[in-house]
A and B are shown apart, each in its own frame.
Chain A
Amino acid sequence: MVDKYRMDEQTMALRVAREFQDGMVVNLGVGIGTQCMNYVPEGREVVFQSENGALGLGPIVSSPDEADINLLNAGGQPASPMKGMCFFSHDESFVMIRGRHIDMVVLGGMEVSEKGDLANWALPGRGLGNIGGSMDLALGAKSVVVVMTHTTKSGKPKILKKCSLPLTAPECVDIIVTDIAFIRITDKGLVLEEIVPGWTVEEVQAVTEPRLIVSPDLKEVTL
């Protein structure tokens, strides 16, 4: 089988960022999440919350000469100062998160179930893991977007009927953006809304364990 086109991390970040509406407060998870910061659609003002205690950090700096060790995002990358930004303690940060003040969070995922259960913190086979802020963010944000590859490195589905790894939070995910599809989780099930050019519905279904409901408005992913 010829390898079909899959979105790379930057392209996935670009697609996720289209979900950011004007005026939203968005928390970005480490990894692909932080890259979304660079792709806020033109004309929209979005405030980013970093769980390490900042609202309104700007884009990642382009050189170490502009970096400040006290202006970091949650991934440890140096951010640029922005007008209007503010800082707070960790307890205050999670008051914002748990208290449902954050409009949207973008998280990475290892597995997502058809009910929207998320598993993303455990280090499989090692008896421990890195929960970090993921559990609070997954249930605290008004809208949860998971961005991940559609399958594991060995080609196994990551969207499952039931997660096999320890959960981050049950029934929390609203949208899954993968390298081949955009899926919305609804009360009726997983709705396939967008598909990457070159893929058919059947091919996406073949690498997704639960049955996909094909949206009547199914379209190709646009950026």
Chain B
Amino acid sequence: MAINKIVDSFEEAIADIRDGATIMIGYFGHAGDAPCWLIRALAEKGTKNLTIISNMPGWGRTLIPAFREMVKGLIRNPSWWDDAGLLVENGQVRKAVVSWASGMSPAHVNDFEKRYQAGEVELEMVPQGTLAERIRAGKAGIPAFYVPTGAGTVVEEGKEVRVFNGRRHILEHALTADFALIHAHKADRWGNLVYQGTSRTFNATMAGAAKVTIAEVDEIVELGELDPEAVVTPNIYVDRVVARPLEELRKW
């Protein structure tokens, strides 16, 4: 029986995500990074009480138009751009574990902040490097580790402190999840992945850190087509692969 991780639709790819699930969503904050179609499928499914682990709870449809406007003299962003903010705006998110909680400037307030101020959502603020390392540790089977980042700040509160080489460090715990939704450029049926430029970001970090990793890709290629020297995410970390609709991808 040939290994085949390819699933035919986004609906099928996320069909077993249940209410209360913890989900990693791989992006930094730009259109090129995010698994936009998986996010829309999850919004469509309406799964509730989600804990999301992501760089940010997202600009959402509240702020993506403002972001487009802000950079329009420099770049055209695709019409299909969505981020986890869509799930927040849909009332599907209970808690967010993120490094960047609100909008792209103090004047830009996302829907997550409004809900946070209203006491509707929980927030765990994590420095970005600690967030990435906690996810990596989850993937690597390391339960906790010490970092200097956050020592002597509010991030230290409630955490074990130890001094190494005369420097204050805090104990941080690994993060794992039920699902990781990521975006890559190309995949084969085994789940080997390659990325494009700066869209690799948290996508490659999160691959393998959840019980089930689902990769949304621009293109699925034949086994053997990806140069083994150039594979970024080894297939062992990927459980499902689903291709973006080419005609929509080209439209913008």
- Interchain nearest-CB distance for A140 vs B (Å): 7
Complex CA gap A25/B40 in Å reads 39
Complex CA gap A140/B149 in Å reads 8
Proximity bits, A99-130, B CB within 8 Å = 1, else 0: 00000000000000000000000010011111
Complex CA gap A68/B71 in Å reads 13
Assess the A53–B133 pair: CB atoms within 8 A: no
| Prevailing SS type, chain B contact patch | loop
User: In the complex, what residues of A have CB within 8 A of residue B135's CB?
Assistant: 91
Assess the A167–B125 pair: CB atoms within 8 A: no
Does chain A have a CB within 8 A of B49? Answer: no
Complex CA gap A54/B72 in Å reads 23
Assess the A69–B148 pair: CB atoms within 8 A: no
Given A139-B148, A167-B153, A72 and B128 contact (CB-CB distance below 8 Å): no
Proximity bits, A78-92, B CB within 8 Å = 1, else 0: 100000000111110
Assess the B102–A89 pair: CB atoms within 8 A: no
Does chain B have a CB within 8 A of A189? Answer: no
Proximity bits, A153-189, B CB within 8 Å = 1, else 0: 0000000000000111110000000000000000000
Does chain A have a CB within 8 A of B197? Answer: yes
User: In the complex, what residues of B have CB within 8 A of residue A132's CB?
Assistant: 99-100, 128
User: In the complex, what residues of B have CB within 8 A of residue A60's CB?
Assistant: 74
Pick the interface stretch among B4-12, B14-22, B25-33, B158-166.
B25-33
- Interchain nearest-CB distance for B55 vs A (Å): 8
Interface size band for A: 35 or more
- Interchain nearest-CB distance for A168 vs B (Å): 7
Proximity bits, A184-215, B CB within 8 Å = 1, else 0: 00000000000000000000000000000000
User: In the complex, what residues of B have CB within 8 A of residue A97's CB?
Assistant: 129
Complex CA gap A88/B125 in Å reads 24
Assess the B125–A128 pair: CB atoms within 8 A: yes
The one of B123, B130, B198 in contact with A136, judged by C-beta atoms closer than 8 angstroms, is B130
Assess the A69–B75 pair: CB atoms within 8 A: yes
Given A78-B74, A94-B132, A128 and B123 contact (CB-CB distance below 8 Å): yes
Does chain A have a CB within 8 A of B178? Answer: no
Given A54-B197, A130-B100, A70 and B148 contact (CB-CB distance below 8 Å): no
Q: Apart from A76-B29, A90-B205, A128-B123, what 10 extra A-B contacts exist at CB < 8 Å?
A: A54-B197, A64-B75, A72-B197, A89-B202, A91-B132, A98-B147, A128-B101, A131-B100, A132-B100, A134-B127
Pairs A–B under 8 Å by Cβ, sample size 20: A61-B74, A69-B30, A69-B78, A70-B32, A72-B197, A78-B74, A88-B200, A89-B202, A90-B55, A91-B205, A98-B133, A128-B113, A128-B123, A128-B125, A131-B126, A134-B127, A136-B130, A139-B149, A140-B149, A169-B153
Q: Which residues from chain B sit less than 8 Å from chain A, CB to CB?
A: 28-33, 55, 67, 71-78, 99-102, 104, 106, 113, 116-117, 123, 125-130, 132-133, 135-136, 147-155, 195-205, 232
Which 4 A/B pairs are nearest by Cβ-Cβ distance?
A94-B129, A70-B197, A136-B129, A89-B204
